[in-house]
Amino acid sequence: MKIQAIRGMQDLLPRQQAIFSHITTTVSEVLNSYGYEKIGLPVLESTALFKRAVGEATDIVEKEMYTFDDRNGESLTLRPEGTAGCVRMAQQHGLTYNQVQRFWYAGPMFRHERPQKGRYRQFEQIGAECFGMAGPDIDAELLFMTARIWQTLGLQADVTLELNTLGNSASRSAFKLALVDYLTKFKDELDEDSRRRLTTNPLRILDSKVEKTQELLISGPSFQAYIDPESMADFEQLRRLLDARQVDYRVNPAIVRGLDYYNKTVFEWVTDTLGAQNTVCAGGRYDGLVEQLGGKPTTGIGFAMGLDRVALMLDGRYESRAVADIYVASMGEVARHQAMLLAESIRDILPGLRVMVHCTEGKFKAQLKKADASNATIALVIGDDEVAQGEIGLKHLRGDSQQINVAANDIIEHLNKVFF
């Protein structure tokens, strides 16, 4: 019986990995240009971290986490998201109180969900988190930055920004009571998930995809009526900044996010190109989270971008970089040894070039086919004639030019002129 990948854990084949690398490089360059510093976070954290930060009544904690006891009997969890770990890290190392920080990170997250296109049990994210900035200007910076990422990736026409404000904790509590009071009257008409959430996480009912539930919500209490004046003023200022920068957006009162730590500004970048998995980047404010995890009161805001979904959007329009710049072909044992040594010399003197050597025997015609398949610019050819004359054959693969012979001592100089 063949062993295969665990369900929902995807293998990244070379083309997929190339797209992922392209996205990560592009996003990191934008983040760095805004002064964000890269950090690394553990894949494993204490289960208590996510229960306290994400919320015990959330779907993530209740149903989706990979949790187990280690040999010491401590409950550990594969991280389902990055914000909680980032807050834990910043607090543990004294990087939050009375300080301004901008961090970013990248890596795999884990949730036991039903696998489908764009949703995997191991998925890749890039996240950015900011601490110590209370005003809506940092909210605007995050949205300016993500808009710039889409523009740099060439995806600006495929995404739409949706915004909402959840107010402060008192706003949410008051609205939550009103929502529960209203929906309890229609409990029998709610879908199964919404009935369960009515007693565990009522705000999540707002983004239910069930049509009947949405119809009931139309006549229910309005979240906007419960938003505190300070949060509403911040939200209006954020909108003015977005308008001034001409960043298009849509206010969507149904955005509540699935994690308990959010307050004030929340947002989602959505697309209509991926079917049901339409959110490609999302985040918001979590001003009480540092304190909730035992630190001093510190404001925070961040976002997470799903690389798997962004990669799906780029697939079909992304042209992978060639595997090699130079392909070295040879015929015969002496020539094959010279080919290996030549390739090492090129790597020593011209380290920016990628050199692929054909190893083991093979007909020249077959080797040149492989050279062409690698998308290399040049093939270097060494056979008995070339060895005898102290030359190396050179053929440009991206045109119809004939092979020319270059003195072995001059090949580095020739390559330098071609590539640089």
pLDDT one-digit tens code per residue, 112-160: 999 988 899 999 999 999 999 998 999 999 999 999 999 999 999 999 9
Tell me the helix, strand and coil percentages in the chain, rounded to 5. 45, 20, 35
Residues 44 and 99 in one domain: yes
Residues 248 and 269 in one domain: yes
Residues 288 and 368 in one domain: no
Residues 267 and 383 in one domain: no
Fill in the DSSP letter of residue 63.
I
Q: Quick one: pLDDT band at residue 384, thresholds 50, 70, 90?
A: confident
Q: Is residue 370 part of a domain?
A: yes
Q: Is residue 4 part of a domain?
A: no
Residues 404 and 297 in one domain: no
Between CA 123 and CA 133, with CA 129 as vertex, the angle to 5 degrees is 160
The domain boundary, picked from 260, 282, 314, lies at 314
The domain boundary, picked from 258, 290, 314, lies at 314
Residues 336 and 264 in one domain: no
To which residue do tokens 């009103």 refer?
178
Calpha distance 142→213 (Å, rounded): 33
Domain containing residue 406: CATH number:
3.40.50.800
CA proximity to 44, closest of 75, 14, 15, 71 = 75
Domains in the chain, number: 2
For the chain, give me the number of helices (H) and strands (E)? 15, 16
Q: Is residue 199 part of a domain?
A: no
- Model pLDDT, residue 77: 97
Q: Is residue 5 part of a domain?
A: no
The domain boundary, picked from 255, 289, 314, lies at 314
User: Which region among 74-78, 111-115, 333-337, 396-400 has the lowest average model confidence (pLDDT)?
Assistant: 396-400
Residues 248 and 149 in one domain: yes
- pLDDT surpasses 80 at 293: yes
Q: What percent of the chain has pLDDT over 90?
A: 69
Residues 295 and 394 in one domain: no
Q: Is residue 174 part of a domain?
A: no
Residues 384 and 261 in one domain: no
Tokens of 7: 């369900």
Residues 6+ apart with CB under 8 A from 281: 146, 159, 268, 269, 303, 304, 305, 306
- Model pLDDT, residue 361: 87
pLDDT one-digit tens code per residue, 26-66: 999 999 999 999 999 999 999 999 999 888 777 788 889 99
Q: What percent of the chain has pLDDT over 70?
A: 100
Domain containing residue 97: CATH number:
3.30.930.10
Residues 368 and 310 in one domain: no
- pLDDT surpasses 70 at 253: yes
- pLDDT surpasses 80 at 399: no
Calpha distance 377→326 (Å, rounded): 6
- Model pLDDT, residue 258: 63
Q: Is residue 211 part of a domain?
A: no
pLDDT one-digit tens code per residue, 175-185: 889 999 999 99
* DSSP for 160-216, written as a single string: EEEEEE---HHHHHHHHHHHHHHHHTTGGGS-HHHHHHHHH-GGGGGG---HHHHHH
Q: Which domain holds residue 350?
A: 326-419
Calpha distance 141→241 (Å, rounded): 9
Higher per-residue pLDDT: 249 or 333: 249
Q: Is residue 321 part of a domain?
A: no
Q: Is residue 260 part of a domain?
A: yes
Residues 413 and 267 in one domain: no
Task: Please tell me the pTM assigned to this model.
Answer: 0.87
Region label for 257, one of left (φ > 0), alpha (ψ between -120 and 50) or beta (otherwise): left
Q: Quick one: pLDDT band at residue 214, thresholds 50, 70, 90?
A: confident
Residues 135 and 70 in one domain: yes
